[in-house]
Amino acid sequence: MNKAVLKAAAIALTIGMASAAHAQTKIKAGIESSPGSLIYDVMVFFKKDLEARLPGEVEVEIVPGGQLGKDVDVMNGLKLGTHQMTIACSPVQSVEPTLGIFEAPFLITTRDEAKKIVFGPIGDKIMANLTAKGIVGLSLTELGFRQITNNVRPIKTPEDLKGLRIRIPNTPFRKTIFEALGANPTPIAFGETYAALRQGVVDGEENPLPSIYGAKFNEVQKYITIANYLFTPCTMMASPTYFDAWPKKVQDAVKASAKAAAEYSFTRGAELDEKYVVEMKKTSEVGEIDAASFTPVMRPLWDEIGKKVGPDLMQEVITTVSK
């Protein structure tokens, strides 16, 4: 092979390499959660899984701790095309109210029941609804079963919650639950909750154990109550502005990795629950509610939630869970 041919081949190779580098899809995912939380772990899994599916073609950057904005701000950014991707939890209800099905207290009580909803036709409907509203729904993941913490007293029965100022996410359904229990629910952004607890702005809060431990709420809360009264999902989402511009194989890989990350979230969530109960006993008094005493107060709320999310959808959830 003469020098001219070699030179031409080298130039072609260089151009090809430059083109490949230029064609690489870079995805920036802004999340409000921080390292150590389940949500962060799920995003790391997603990143590794997606980059393994398309080696050298996709790069995922995770920006944690709300550096790109709070959950609501980032979700608005997905619609506007100023943000690419995120995973958020309760605040997604402000965009897709049918996620309120997960606000029915003591309806979904096991991970197997949650999986029937998340990975079944109901979960598919919710993702389709979200996509129709200008945000690409990719998958529902686990945040976990919600527990209650406070600095006043152990929680065993509904009476113990009366008068307590409990931080809640900004969702109307959660407000209804705690008002029915006689508490004073106070919406506060997740990132501002630690300071609110430490300063006594609120007496307590409610979150899954991985979120409580990851945010160090247990360090400023005397009592941790295992309630398992709600299962909370998170939603992995993308901006249609970016998603629609990605190559088809990247879109397909993103969907596949999002589903894989959702499956991982359930396994990891169970592991963390077991681990954090042990850890929290080092800083706080850990107890359990008397679930039977809550049933008469909570069961009527299923109908109230059904009126808001749709009676047919609510009945489909109840039927699916009971199978």
pLDDT in tens, 204-220: 999 999 889 988 999 99
Q: Look up the pTM and report it.
A: 0.83
Q: Which pLDDT band, with edges at 50, 70 and 90, does 21 fall under?
A: very low
Evaluate whether residue 210 is within a structural domain: yes
pLDDT in tens, 227-250: 999 999 999 999 999 999 999 999
User: What's the CATH code of the domain at 312?
Assistant: 3.40.190.170
**Is 10's pLDDT higher than 80?**
no
- Please tell me the predicted confidence (pLDDT) of residue 36: 79
pLDDT in tens, 243-299: 999 999 999 999 999 999 999 999 999 999 999 999 999 999 999 999 999 988 999
Alpha carbons 279 and 284: distance in angstroms, whole number:
9
Domain count, the chain: 1
Among 150, 151, 122, 149, residue whose Cα is nearest residue 137: 122
Evaluate whether residue 176 is within a structural domain: yes
Evaluate whether residue 54 is within a structural domain: yes
Evaluate whether residue 13 is within a structural domain: no
Evaluate whether residue 86 is within a structural domain: yes
- Please tell me the predicted confidence (pLDDT) of residue 33: 87
Alpha carbons 210 and 96: distance in angstroms, whole number:
24
Alpha carbons 210 and 159: distance in angstroms, whole number:
27
Among 57, 30, 19, 43, residue whose Cα is nearest residue 251: 57
Evaluate whether residue 124 is within a structural domain: yes
Angle of helix 248-280 relative to helix 38-53, nearest 10 degrees? 150
CB contact set of 106 (below 8 Å; sequence gap of 6+): 229, 291, 294, 295, 298, 299
Structural domain of 60: 25-322
Evaluate whether residue 88 is within a structural domain: yes
Evaluate whether residue 10 is within a structural domain: no
For residue 1, the tally of other CB atoms under 10 A from its CB is: 7
